[in-house]
Structure 1
């Protein structure tokens, strides 16, 4: 079960990174892949964008914080599952 959670966390992290990299290319977010990634990643990133304003009006660090939070939650979930499974 821990491997499954770790795999999902890794896939979603790569999706976030891909979405951020698409912002560097003109009109890439309007492509099929950009729209699909936007629908999957933007709801999660919008939570962090509400609390973390862009630095200097241009540099958005919310994806970095979002990836750290995702890793933290995945590690916590794995630890809880290991504790529960280990207690049986």
Structure 2
């Protein structure tokens, strides 16, 4: 039973780490205005990451014309990762 939980938590953490990398790439690419978001692979990247980022766009207003809401998204995702890691360690 504990092996199953350990596998579940490690898989969940792996997914969150990959998603965090995708978010970092997405936010980094917004600094380049010549990126065509309707061409592949950028279209798939925006379809995967935009629903999560849109949650935070209404919470934090732009500051001096810069959207800082992804910072809140990164912090929340890393908190979830840390909690899942701690729960996974204590369950084994």
If the length of structure 2 is used for normalisation, what is the TM-score? 0.76
Aligned alpha-carbon RMSD (Å): 1.8
Q: Which has the higher helix share?
A: 1
Distance across 2 between alignment mates of 1:21 and 1:12: 14
Query: After the TM superposition, which residues 26-45 of structure 1 pair with which residues of structure 2 at under 5 Å, given as runs?
Result: 26-28=33-35, 29-45=37-53
Unaligned runs of 5+ in 2: 1-6
CA drift at 1:33: 1.6
Query: After the TM superposition, which residues 40-79 of structure 1 pair with which residues of structure 2 at under 5 Å, given as runs?
Result: 40-56=48-64, 58-79=65-86
Compare relative contact order (CA 8 Å, sep 6+) and give the higher one, 1 or 2.
Answer: 2
- The equivalent of 2:18 in structure 1 is 11
